[in-house]
Amino acid sequence: MSFTTSDVNDWTRSDIYHNSFLISPDATLDSTLKLSEQNGLPPYAVSAAQGKFLYLLAKSIQAHRILEVGTLGGYSTIWFAKALPPDGEIITCEISEHYAKVAQQNIDHAGLTSRVKILLGPAIDTLSRLHSDETFDLAFIDADKQSNVDYFIQAKRLVRNQGVIIVDNVVRSGRVADPIQSDPSIDGVRRLLQYIQNDSTVEATTMGTVGEKGYDGFLFAINKPR
């Protein structure tokens, strides 16, 4: 193995190695990915290591209420739901009825039905209908990247003072930082970065990641005390 260059095969091997010590095999999470694939959902769930990282983050702030934008098959939803106390709740927004049905099956199969509420429809409509007194400890934004700024503004409104907002896929193999590249997702991430640069109400950083899902990153933000 070379240490001067590496690719997704090396990163996957490394994920598998570390996971073998740190992440117990979980038949329910495996079957979530399997049912998602069988139903034609795109392979955009977070990796196991990222899912456990999100779970640990939620636990570290003792999150009771989590907001998710983009349910897909419910893989990250299930990781978050496992981090919640029995009276905790995750509200997750999904635009696709088909994805939401698959996710609901996965959540039911995981025994987490009572802790998860899937809200079907365009997330921007769903979020604008939520009252700001329905305070969340953490928001995870992982949907269409063009709408990142709109989702982020809603998440800021709905997350408590000092609460956490995480945005997935903000590095995109480094393409976000490459001036000759452009597509709606890249541009959606760039608009979010520009928005946060001029926003004095949050503190944020991007944490790049490599692993079985390639080279990408999370944006991590905290609502400053108001």
Distance of CA 96 to the CA centre of its chain: 17
Residue 170 main-chain phi, psi, to 5 deg: -95, 0
d(CA 104, CA 71): 10
The verdict on 215 binding ligand DHB (CB under 6 A) reads no
- The reply to whether 36 sits near ligand DHB by the rule CB under 6 A is no
**Site map 165..204 versus ligand DHB, x via CB under 6 A:** ---xx-----------------------------------
For the CB of residue 185, give the shortest distance to Mg ion in the complex, in Å: 10
Kindly tell me which of 36 and 169 has the beta carbon lying closer to ligand DHB: 169
Q: Does 68 interact with ligand DHB (rule: CB under 6 A)?
A: no
Which of 31, 44, 157, 187 touches ligand DHB (CB under 6 A)?
44
> If binding is defined by CB under 6 A, does position 15 make contact with ligand DHB?
no
71 vs 99: CA distance, rounded Å: 8
For residue 150, the partner it binds in ligand DHB, Mg ion, none, with Cβ less than 5 to 8 A by kind, is: none
Residue 15 or 168 having the CB closest to Mg ion: 168
- Residue labelled with tokens 């039911």: 108
Q: Which two tokens stand for residue 128?
A: 């604008």
The structure tokens listed for 8 are 């997704």
Question: 182: which 2 tokens?
Answer: 């452009």
Nearer to ligand DHB among residue 65 and residue 213 (C-beta):
213
Binding site for Mg ion (CB under 5 A): 142, 168-169
Alpha-carbon span 35 to 23, nearest angstrom: 21
- Closest approach of ligand DHB to the CB of residue 22, in Å: 21
**Which one among 79, 142, 147, 211 touches ligand DHB, defined by CB under 6 A?**
142
Residue whose Cβ sits closest to ligand DHB: 44
* Angle of helix 48-60 versus helix 75-83 axis, rounded to 10: 30
> What CA–CA distance (Å, rounded) separates 76 from 209?
16
- Output helix, strand, coil percentages for the chain, rounded to the nearest 5: 45, 25, 30
Nearer Cβ to ligand DHB, position 135 or 215?
215
Nearer to ligand DHB, 106 or 169 (CB): 169
Scanning residues 91 to 120, which ones bind ligand DHB (CB under 6 A)?
none
Nearest Cα residue to 169 out of 149, 153, 148, 199:
148
